[in-house]
Structure 1
Amino acid sequence: MQFIDRAQITVKAGDGGHGKSAFRHEKFMPKGGPSGGDGGRGGDVIFRADRNLNTLLSFRFHRKFIAKNGENGEHKNQFGRNAPNLYVDVPPGTIVTDDATGEVLADLTEIGAEAVIVRGGRGGRGNAKFANAANRAPSFAEFGEPGESRKLRLELKLLADVGLVGYPSVGKSSLVASCSAARPEIADYHFTTLTPVLGVVQTDYEKSFVMADIPGLIEGAADGVGLGHDFLRHVERTRLILHIVDASAIEGRDPVEDYYKINTELARYSEKIARRTQILVANKIDLPSAEEHLPRLKELAERERLEFFAISAATRAGVQGLIDHVGAWLDAYVPEPESEEEEVAVFDQNAEDDEKVTISRNDAGDFIVSGKAIEKLVAMTNFNNDEAVRRFQYIWRLKGLDEKLRARGIKEGMTVHIGDMAFDYQD
């Protein structure tokens, strides 16, 4: 099974429906006024944390999410219907990042949490909205506003209370299987677990905690050796670490050296992870060779001031005592602000200045006018209608764009790009 905790997808909100240009034509009213209705709003794309998901596997096969467009306006001032929002369910712990800018758009840590990632375009106004004392019968209507679109990076960090770390084949999967309903693959070869497994451990009739079987680490994991970075990120949000070592040393490794090597990798990846409380768990004590190493592991625990438990996940010897201790520790756990992971800074999409305009030049020497409001105006203007063009020119002058372009050195006949449109400049 491929390890899936990151994905790249594209999302597109719905476009607004077009406004309608229409006039009333009723009996005894041969010159009725404008009656074109507004278009409906396009659907937003909203991400939602779903308790039933724990991987990003589904995004390997479904990479594009497009919300529906709003309906067009109709005559007799009938408004187009708004499009429904498109909900995209992700596992709790998913961080949503704009692929182009690197800005974090959402950090969905709570079950049921929602975040609007791209917003649908508003519906274009019908010609009835443009009637005024100076122009009683406008013939133009607006196109619908295009919906926003983004390329996204999704990253999952498991939200588990307890994370299991240790070398491959030390028995992490066996421990999860022995104390929860999770059934990870278990075999006598390295890297059996290629994807983290969550197990819900019941401590009594009313309380439980989530344990994560995080795939085995190796030396160099902090440098990305093997799947090091992929695995280490899942330790970041656990509150307690169970450090599992193989007391039998049947793989030919020294369990005491294993403990120090794994902690070196944790510290190199993140000092905050290295400061997490650890419990040292010596597994496979049912094997005869464990007797040789248990005294050294107890000394290690005393030296490092760690709680120590000797267990056999295969026979469940000592497992219940470990579970009870972990449950009691979690019940008494009080987060300390200085030891907690820093909150992810989420980009505020509403903080953008819609009226800000920037002017740049491309390799061909053309002028590029960029700005949310001006690009929206271009996209919603029907340039085949003379009245709509005059309105656009009026707003252009109000924004002082002629002066800004002349200040940048524009000359008669040079090309100006705004969004998908290109214009020949005329002074």
Structure 2
Amino acid sequence: MPRLASSALTRALLACATLALPFAALAQSPAGISKDVVKIGVLTDMSGQFSHEAGEGSVTAVKMAVEDFGGKVLGKPIEVIVADHQNKTEVAVAKAKEWFDVDNVDMIANLINSAVAIGVANVAKEKNGIAIVNGSGSSRLTNDACTPNSIHYAYDTYALAVGTGNALIKEGKKRWFFLTADYAFGHALEADTAAVVKAGGGQVAGSVRYPINTLDHGSFMLQAQGSGADAVAVAGSGTVFINAVKAAHDFGLTNSGKQTLAGLLVWITDVHSMGLDTAQGLVLTNAFYWDRDEETRAFSKKFEAKMGRKPHMGDAGDYSSTMHYLKAVQAAGTDEAQAVMAKMREIKVSDFFAKNGVIRPDGRFVHDMYVYQVKKPSESKYPWDYYKLVQVIPGDQAFRPLSESKCPLVKS
């Protein structure tokens, strides 16, 4: 009897254990919100030379999206935290690891500075978090440096090169000289634009790389003027780009009638800072202009009420991508990274920023891009009326085709 009772008890326990297995698996599944909060970290330049292209503007845009979403997702609160990466990759990587490991951050936003963005994208892959890049431009982020946990949203160097490069080549600007900021973004922008120029039958007359924190562009401008180039392209961003354009204006390069100055990355805040007298005539490519249509004007009015200025494509991208992320969390029923990434690729984006935009397997968000020319002072009719449209570039033509991609996620 004792043996029979023991055997019966064993069978009963095994049956209970078998029944419990599905429930145990369910308990370990990614459903639901981890730690009962969806946490977004805005990692950006709050005080350095890119702070006007990101900084408080990116924080404001992300917080606006959270507020407009309702402040909760799946019944759980959404929290936004902020850190300054100081344009130091090691600082950004350390902060990203701390956020994912200790602070339970689900998604890191903005990431201006391409070296920073590439470093943090790799941390997101390692920690199974999500990184959404709006501030940085290097096309490597969706090429050889792509990850299954990162999205490149607003623009990239390939799209900037295709837009501005082709527009000027069509105008007969065949000889190019590059003034290139000596860091990852500048190098990528020069390489992508040079490829477009050569493909269009043009040639590179020369190039010079300037230190990222340089204040004196005099010697560089003399080289550009002496190159005989039709187009002088500034491959840089931030205050150093503004200084370069001012130097070009002071040296008479933009008034000679012989050379065209191309801003390969121009933020509307740059134009505002320089003024139309200096910036007029610049040809540029952009993902967003506040005065494009009624939807862009409506968003821009709300943003300006908080920031005191019009938004640029980074601000608009931070808002749009954060909203898309939260919609994906809602649809996935979880904040688990791969489930959310799958939904972000599945759901199209149709808002003030993009119509029928899609996220490809390489993490590239594909949408229309726009070529603009900065207006003359006499053409501007009201505050921030700075751009006139030259060309719309359909999304499938604006970004590097997958057939040319070195992203392992595409080849697999």
Instruction: Please state which band the TM-score falls in when normalised by the shorter chain.
Output: under 0.3
TM-score between both structures, scaled by the size of structure 2: 0.26
Name the TM-score, length of structure 1 as normaliser: 0.25
Higher-Rg structure is 1
